[in-house]
Amino acid sequence: MEKMEHFSHIHPLLLKQEHSNNFNNQVLCSGCEELISSGPVFCCVQCNYVLHKKCAQIARHVKHPFHPQHPLVLLSTTPYEGPYVCDSCRGLFSNFVYHCYQCNYDLDVSCASQFNPDDGHKHEFLSLTNPQSFVCYACGMYANEGLACLCTVCQIWVHSGCAELPLAIRIKGHDHPLKLTYTLHHFYGFWGKLTCGFCNEAMNPAFAGYFCSTCKFAVHCPQQHLGEYEDKESFSGYETEEESLDIDFTFNFFGHEHLLKFTEELESNDDDVQCFDKLCDACVQPIMPPFFSCEEENCGFFLHQSCAELPRTKQHPFHKHPLTLQSKAPYDGIYKCDGCRRLGNGFVYRCDVCQFDLDVCCASLEERIEHESHKHPLFLKKTSVARQCKGCHLWSKLVFVCDVCEDFAIDCGCATLLSKAWHVYDKHPLSLNYCIEGDLREHECGICNEKMSKKQWFYCCDDCDSGAHPYCVAGKFRRMKFGGSFQYDVHSHPLALVEETEQKNECGACGEHCNGWTLECGQCKRYFHREGQCFWKEFKKSAKYLELSGMMRHRYAANVLASTPNATTK
C-alpha cells in the first residue's frame, strides 16, 4: 500500500483507492474541506485525517493568474488567528490555503485549482460589452470600450480576436509545437529573459505567448504574427510536460524586519556540500535548500522553508495550554528548552502562562518515530520516573521509549541529533554511530582528545577513521546562534552573544574571567558574563526585565481568572 509523508500531518498517510466511510457518515477532506464521497484518498489510521488524493498531491508553490504579482505558498492551516477569507470566492475556510506572505492574499484549494497555469486548459470565453478600456491579457495591448471576452474559468479579459487563439500551433522552421501560455513569468526565473523568435524583441512576462519548453523558444501571440503559423488549429492529443520552476521571490516574515529571498537550490551538485557555517534562525540547524535569506547585506538571517511554514500555534501532548510560536523569547531571546534541556536563542514555542518553552526541533517531534538506532517504533512519553538515555546516558522524564524493549529509551536531545553532520576539524561528513553491541573499537574524540565511551553514541568519519562526541561536533551550545545583539539596560551599547574562546577575557562588571557564553560590546571592546551574579543580577533590576516580568505576571493572572469560575481580584 502506497504511503506518503505529507507536510500537513505528523503521521504517515496511506493511500486507499476507494474511500469507505468508516469514520463517520460524512467525512470532509482536511485540505479542501469538501465532502469525500468516493475515489482515492490518503488517510491516517491513527487520527481520522483524510485528504483527497488530488489535494494531497497539489503543488506547494504556484504562480497564479488571480495574483500574478507574487507566488503563493500552500499552508496547511490558516496563517491568521481565525478562519481566512478566500480572495476569489469570499468564502470562509480554516484548512489548506494558498497564501501570499507579502500581500496577505489567500486562495482556497478549489479556487486555486480552477486554473492551473501549466495545464493548457481551454478558456471558456464569454462575449461581453466591457464598459471601460482594458489591457488584453493575451497580447498586452489596450482595448477601447466595446466588445471583449471574459474567461469564466480564470477571469481574464482579452480581445475578441485573441479569444480565438489556438491552444497549440506549429510555426515554420521549428520542429516542435508551441503551447499557448498566459504565464510566461514562470520561465523567467528558470531560463532568464525570453526573446520573440519573430521580431527579436523581449517577451513581456505579464502577458501570453507561444512557448516551446523543449527548445526554450517563444513568440508573441498578437494577430500580426499569425501569418507565420502553419497550423492555427489546436493539436488533438497534444500533451505538455510539467515544468520544474525556480521560484524567485521575496516576502516579509513575522520574525524579521527585512525582506527575505527564496533559494531553492545551491549551485553545487554535491549532495554532501551544505552551508554548515550558516544556521537557520528558527531551528538553529545548518542551512540546506530550500531556504530563505535576508536581502540586507551583513544581516545573516536565514530560515529553512519548512521553518517558515511552521504553524503559529501548536497543542503539545504534554502541556495543557496551546503553545505560541515566537521568533524571540522574552528578556534577551535566550531560553531553556523544557524538552531537551538545552539553552537556545532560536524560535520558541512558548506558553506564557506556565513559562513553558520548547525549541522548534523538540516541538516538531512526532509522538511516534522510526529511529535508526532501534528496530522498533519509539513513542514519546512523560514518565513518572526518570529514564536513562541510550545515546548520552543522561536521565530524563520526557523520553522516547520502546513498548517492546523495556530498557530502551532516548531523550529529545539525542532524538534530534543529525544522522550526518559536518565539523571544521574534518573535511568529510560525519555519520552518527549508535554503538552496536560487539563494536569493540575505541575512539578518541578528534575535537577534545578525550576517550569516548563505547556504549554512547558518537560521530565517526569513515574516510579518516576518526570520531567525536556529539556535543563536541554540535558545539557546547548547539541551539545557540551567536552574533545577534541585544540592548541591555545595564550597558549603553548593544551587546552581542559570542562563543567561548581560548583567550580568557575579563568581565567588565566583576573582573573575573568570562567562562562559557559571553556578551561582547563591539564599540567598547568589553566583555560581560551572561550567567552569574555580577551582570545578570543587575539586569534583573533593570526596567526592561521588570516590565517583561510584569507582563508575564499579568498574563498569568488573566489566564487564572479566565479559567476559574467566580474568581475575583482584590
Per 3-state DSSP, the chain is made up of helix, strand and coil in percentages (nearest 5) of 10, 30, 55
Q: Which amino acid is at 9?
A: H
The SS3 of residue 471 is helix
| pLDDT at residue 475, as a whole number | 66
Three-class SS of residue 242? coil
Name the burial class of residue 336, with classes exposed (0-12), middle (13-18) and buried (19+) by CB atoms within 10 angstroms of its CB. middle
- With CA atoms as reference, report the closest residue to 7 among 69, 73, 87: 73
Q: What is the dihedral angle through the alpha carbons of 20, 22, 23, 28, rounded to the nearest 10 degrees?
A: 10
SS3 415: helix
Q: List the beta bridge partners of residue 134.
A: 143
d(CA 109, CA 84): 12
Three-class SS state of 164: helix
The full set of domain ranges for the chain reads 1-57, 61-113, 125-231, 252-308, 368-415, 420-474, 485-539
Other C-beta atoms lying within 10 Å of the C-beta of residue 345: 23
Structure confidence at residue 119 (pLDDT): 46
Cα(499)–Cα(512) distance, integer angstroms? 17
Q: Which residues contact 541 (CB under 8 A, 6 or more apart)?
A: none
- Residue identified by cell 539586569 is 539
Q: Do domains 1-57 and 420-474 have the same CATH topology?
A: yes
The DSSP line for 49-96 is -EEEHHHHTS-SEEEETTEEEEEEEEESS-SSSS-EE-TTT--EESS-
The 10s digit of each residue's pLDDT in 200-234 is 787 777 678 888 766 778 888 755 454 444 444 43
Q: Please, are residues 260 and 294 in contact by the beta-carbon 8 Å criterion?
A: yes
Is 366:11 a contact under the CB 8 Å cutoff? yes
CB count within 10 Å of CB 507 equals 20
Are 153 and 115 contacting, i.e. CB atoms less than 8 angstroms apart?
A: yes
Residue 49's CB is within 10 A of a number of other CB atoms, namely 18
> Selecting from 1.50.10, 3.30.60, 1.25.40, 1.10.600, what CATH number does the domain 1-57 have?
3.30.60
Q: Which three cell numbers stand for residue 221?
A: 501571440
What is the rounded distance in angstroms from the CA atom of residue 477 to the CA atom of residue 471? 8
Contact 292, 305 (CB under 8 A): yes
| Calpha distance 171→550 (Å, rounded) | 73
Name the phi and psi angles at 413, rounded to 5. -65, -45
Contact yes or no for 456/392 (Cβ under 8 A): yes
> Domain 485-539 falls in which CATH fold?
Wheat Germ Agglutinin (Isolectin 2); domain 1 (3.30.60)
* Residue found under cell 512558548: 350
CA distance 438 to 449: 24
Bridge partners of 128? 148
Phi/psi zone of residue 22: left (φ > 0), alpha (ψ -120 to 50 degrees), beta? alpha
| CA separation for the pair 52, 31 (Å, rounded) | 8
CATH 2.60.40 is the classification of domain 420-474: no
Omega within 30 of 0 (cis) for the link into 290: yes
Q: Which three cell numbers stand for residue 20?
A: 469507505
pTM summary value = 0.50
Answer whether 536's CB lies under 8 Å from 554's CB.
no
Reading the chain (570 residues) residue by residue, the pLDDT tens digits are 678 888 888 888 888 877 655 545 578 888 888 888 778 889 888 888 899 888 887 777 776 767 766 778 889 888 887 888 888 777 888 889 999 887 788 988 888 876 544 444 566 677 776 555 677 778 777 766 666 777 755 667 788 778 877 777 777 667 778 888 776 655 554 445 677 877 778 777 767 888 876 677 888 875 545 444 444 443 333 333 333 333 334 455 666 777 777 776 665 444 444 455 688 889 888 888 888 888 787 788 888 888 887 888 888 887 888 898 888 887 777 888 888 878 888 899 999 888 899 998 888 888 888 888 898 999 988 888 889 999 888 888 889 999 999 889 999 888 888 888 777 677 788 888 886 544 545 667 888 888 887 788 888 887 877 888 887 887 666 777 777 667 766 677 887 777 666 667 787 777 777 766 678 887 888 887 766 555 656 565 555 555 555 555 445 444 544 444 444 443
Closest CA relative to residue 255, chosen from 171, 326, 350: 326
Cell readout for 200 is 527579436
Q: Name the H helices within 127-282.
A: 185-191
Q: What is the pLDDT of residue 408?
A: 93
CB contact at 8 A, 116 and 52: no
Q: What is the 3-state secondary structure (H, E, C) of 121-159?
A: CCCCEEEEEECCCEECCCCCCEECCEEEEEECCCCCEEC
In this structure, what are the phi and psi dihedrals at residue 305, rounded to the nearest 5 degrees?
A: -60, -40
